[in-house]
Amino acid sequence: MTVLVFGQTGQVARELARRAPDAVYLGRAQADLSDPAACTAAIRAHAPDVVINAAAYTAVDRAETDEAAALQVNGAAPGAMAQACADLGIPFLHVSTDYVFDGSGTAPWTPEDPVAPLGAYGRSKLAGEQAVRAAGGRHVILRTSWVFSAHGANFVKTMLRLGADRPALRVVADQIGGPTPAGGIAGALLTMADALRQGAAGGTYHYAGAPDTSWACFARETFAQAGLAVTVEDIPTEAYPTPARRPLNSRLDCATLADFGIARPDWQQALAEVVSELKGI
């Protein structure tokens, strides 16, 4: 199976490269997602068996004042990729986010629940989902949340950096979700890609770590596993204002992963592996 991946330095792309080193990985220099036509041309030039889009505009707060750029990268580019794949009759896999939901209630969001993004980033990701579906090809849209790894910028690395210098930190405790290892996402994408190649129907799926927790509890576990004596003070979202509103409820119902024989990952176990890797760097 020849795999073409959009993304090279992001968390999921880096983990895909570990698991599928023979795949072709396109960074911004090879295919700039701000130019959807370049993405289409890359797919046609490489003629792969399957395409995975692991690249995105992920600056949630900056998107509030840069929505046009976010829409181009997260909306138009995936749509162009999906259309090229549909025309060539090959599967397309696309990573999306819990930010397409408004974060209301406490029940885990199912793939079929109504979407209502709170901000520009969520709207741009929703636009991408809609464009992928509209292309009409065989596809998987994999929504995920709270991604972490030993690479790039993420919550775990931020906590470890701050915790190395501070005895106490204030962390939001009323946002609830499933921390998700990028390595797990990569593995799920490759499993789904193989299934699509063998005729699976595809659709929209959720993949998030278990058990659900708060950012504050996630921080405590991070410090505990790293051996850092940092006191975490629980604070509400309104005590930590940001340009973009964050969903309070990011719980994702992942039951339909069973279609592919995939289970939710244990984020605490994955966190231990990430912390160990970071200590070795």
Residue 142 falls inside a structural domain: yes
Residue 245 is given by DSSP the state P
Say which CATH number the domain at 119 has.
3.40.50.720
- Centroid of chain to Cα 23: 19
Q: What is the pLDDT of residue 210?
A: 98
Q: What is the pLDDT of residue 280?
A: 81
Q: Which residues pair with 232 in a beta bridge?
A: 169
The per-residue pLDDT for range 199-236, each reduced to its tens digit, is 999 999 999 999 999 999 999 999 999 999 999 999 99
- pTM for this entry: 0.96
Q: CA 74 to CA 149: how far, in whole Å? A: 22
Helix 182-197 × helix 11-19 angle, to 10°? 60
69-83 average pLDDT score: 98
Instruction: Give the chain's domain count.
Output: 1
Residue 163 falls inside a structural domain: no
Question: What residues are annotated to the active site?
Answer: 121
Please tell me whether the peptide bond between 78 and the residue prior to it is cis, using omega within 30 degrees of 0: no
**Which residue reads 């068996």 in tokens?**
49
Q: What is the pLDDT of residue 20?
A: 97
Residue 112 falls inside a structural domain: yes
The per-residue pLDDT for range 151-183, each reduced to its tens digit, is 999 999 999 999 999 999 999 999 999 999 999
Residue 128 falls inside a structural domain: yes
Nearest Cα to 81, choosing from 148, 32, 20, 23? 32
Residue 240 falls inside a structural domain: no
Residue 58 falls inside a structural domain: yes
Question: What is the residue range of 9's domain?
Answer: 3-153+180-209+251-266
Residue 271 falls inside a structural domain: no
Residue 28 falls inside a structural domain: yes
Query: pLDDT class for 279, splitting at 50, 70, 90?
Result: confident
